[in-house]
Amino acid sequence: MENFVVSARKYRPSNFHSVVGQLSIATTLKNAIQRKHLAQAYLFCGPRGVGKTTCARIFAKTINCLNQSPQIEACNECESCVSFNSSRSFNIHELDAASNNSVEGIRKLIEQVRIPPQIGKYSVYIIDEVHMLSQSAFNAFLKTLEEPPAHAIFILATTEKHKILPTILSRCQIYDFNRIKVEDTVTYLEHIAKNEGVKYEVEALNIIAQKADGAMRDALSIFDQVVSFSDNNITYSNVIENLNVLDYQYYFKLTENFNSGNYTDSLRIFDELLSKGFDAQQFVSGLSNHLRNLLVCKDSQTLSLLEVGAAIAERYKNMAAICPPDFLISALDQANQCDVTFRQSTNQRLHVELMLIKLCGLNQEKKKDSNQDLDDVHLEPEVKKSIPRQPISSSLNEIPAKPQVNRVAPKSISIKNAVNGTVSATKVETSEIIAEPIPDEYGNSNIVDVEVSVISEENLLNGWRLFINQIKEDKPNHSSILQSYQPHLIDDYKIEIVLESQLQVDLFSEIKPDLLLYIRNQLKNKRIEIVETIEEQQTQNRLYTSDDKFKFMLQKNPTLAKLKQQLNLDFS
């Protein structure tokens, strides 16, 4: 019986042309060989299974090849290439830093470096997992790495670049290997399947590539496993069954439930997945990725970010067409929050079920709001007919008013404003204008969800006076404040009122919520805000009483209070 060789070894690239997904690195190394600009040390770093050691071997074989091709590839026919391919080359040495991580192991390596190559020009030392070396071993290696013999070249490979000392990094040319793209992995798997005579579905190979997460070695290992399971016929159903991967059908069905608000079927699907042995967090992570795929399908510019097969991609496009972008963004945020807080939840199943219920309610809330807005638009003409209105005068000074009622202004009213004629401090104007139906004592109701682009100063002052007229009988102090200090716009939606003391600010704060709600309803703009500020005033000289003087002295010497009490003193 012929010995079986796993695909990761059997189809390991033997030249730069066959390297998958690392074109830029292969091109750089070939150019360095062609120009004879070889460094004494290289560092290949990146995720597992992306070709670091493979490229190191190809590079070592190519620089020692006696008959390089015009494309800067090894000939695989000379003595150096043949000895390397048969694993008996004395010019190329591979070491495992995990088992030779001590100073003693580095000393043996340094002694070995002194021996020149027997065939070829260079002795190449490939040290894998170099981050496993101890700090003392790194320090012992520094001098040799920086100034090795002319025939020695070091190629260091690691998956954890951050663990290597900066002094080592500064002595190496660093090459960062990328994760292999899904489409590149699928293309290579198709090539291997054709060579092996294996029937396959592209969707099945796509699932294998996604499961490998950018590592070609993992993809080839999974490929061998699925071939054995499916008896040389790789289908989509066989792959998801063997790899315990969630079928896309579940996620598409859940998306339909989210759109229709069918939370009962969503909970049933989740229960079915749990009964089949799927992990709840794996389900949430897959749902987040599914929503992300739907979102990138909404725009042709992001369509290239979709890493699925052609048939599944078409279904994603159709599903994305019926899903609003704001719904997808909100749903993706909900799923991501559930994924982040999953581990901290004491009842993880309920945690996921609550997320599903919220997702089913997203579109329902939007539809309810849309229907309510539509009903308001339809009812508005009838409402307007049933409410008698009078036009608002274009001039603030021409507002129709009842006979004036004289009131004595409180002491907190500014005489300066009254003298300047901004607002009369002793007279209050009333009006017969009816702006809106008034359901409560201040005319406040649910804020109309309509925004206008600009608020005019005229409409603002009209609404301000209408509110004063409604509260002047029950709250004369508040109405006096509002009457004496008129508002003004500082931008499109912000209103400012300038007061003179903290006492006035406190009094205004009591009526501010009712005023703000009334003004928002009156001007039909829910974005209006009111800010109150205190006007800066120059300090004036004043006469101090005996109590004022005593309080000042008490701040300097608190024991005076005890003296006053013992002697029973009175400063009045």
pLDDT at 217 over 60: yes
Spatial separation of the C-alpha atoms in residues 407 and 73, rounded to whole Å: 103
Q: How confident is the model at residue 174 (pLDDT cuts 50, 70, 90)?
A: very high
> Do the domains spanning 7-176 and 248-365 agree at the CATH topology level?
no
The reported pLDDT for the residue numbered 546 is 77
Mean pLDDT of 125-151: 88
**One-letter amino acid of 209:** A
pLDDT at 430 over 60: no
Mean pLDDT of 175-201: 89
pLDDT at 479 over 70: yes
Strand, coil or helix: what is 93? strand
Class of domain 248-365: mainly alpha
β-bridge pairing 494-499 and 488-489: antiparallel
β-bridge pairing 152-158 and 405-406: unpaired
Range with lowest mean pLDDT among 55-64, 156-165, 467-476? 467-476
Kindly report the number of other CB atoms within 10 A of residue 343's CB atom. Answer: 9
Range with lowest mean pLDDT among 92-96, 133-137, 479-483? 479-483
Name the residue ranges covered by the structural domains of the chain.
7-176, 182-242, 248-365, 396-534, 542-572
Mean pLDDT of 456-479: 83
The reported pLDDT for the residue numbered 372 is 59
Mean pLDDT of 218-245: 86
Mean pLDDT of 299-307: 80
Query: Is there a contact between 521 and 445 (Cβ–Cβ < 8 Å)?
Result: yes
pLDDT at 418 over 80: no
Query: Is there a contact between 185 and 210 (Cβ–Cβ < 8 Å)?
Result: no
DSSP codes, 506-542: HHHHHHHHHHHHHHHHHHT-TT-EEEEEEPP------
DSSP codes, 238-300: HHHHHTTPPPHHHHHHHHHHHHHT-HHHHHHHHHHHHHTT--HHHHHHHHHHHHHHHHHTTSG
Residues sharing a CB contact under 8 Å with residue 296, sequence separation 6 or more, in sequence order: 302, 303, 305, 306
- Please state, rounded to an integer, the average pLDDT across all residues of the chain: 79
pLDDT at 426 over 50: no
Helices (H), 387-493: 415-420, 457-471, 476-484
**7-176 is classed CATH 3.40.50.2300:** no
Percent of the chain with pLDDT over 70: 82
Q: Which two tokens stand for residue 335?
A: 């799923």
**182-242 is classed CATH 3.30.460.10:** no
- The 8-class DSSP code of residue 114 comes to T
Q: How confident is the model at residue 387 (pLDDT cuts 50, 70, 90)?
A: very low
pLDDT tens track for 44-95: 999 988 989 999 999 999 998 888 888 888 888 888 888 888 888 888 888 8
Range with lowest mean pLDDT among 223-237, 321-335, 369-383, 540-554? 369-383
Mean pLDDT of 393-420: 41
What's the predicted TM-score (pTM) here?
0.58
- Long-range contacts (CB closer than 8 Å, 24 or more residues apart) made by 25-29: 25/55, 25/175, 25/177, 26/55, 28/175, 29/55, 29/59
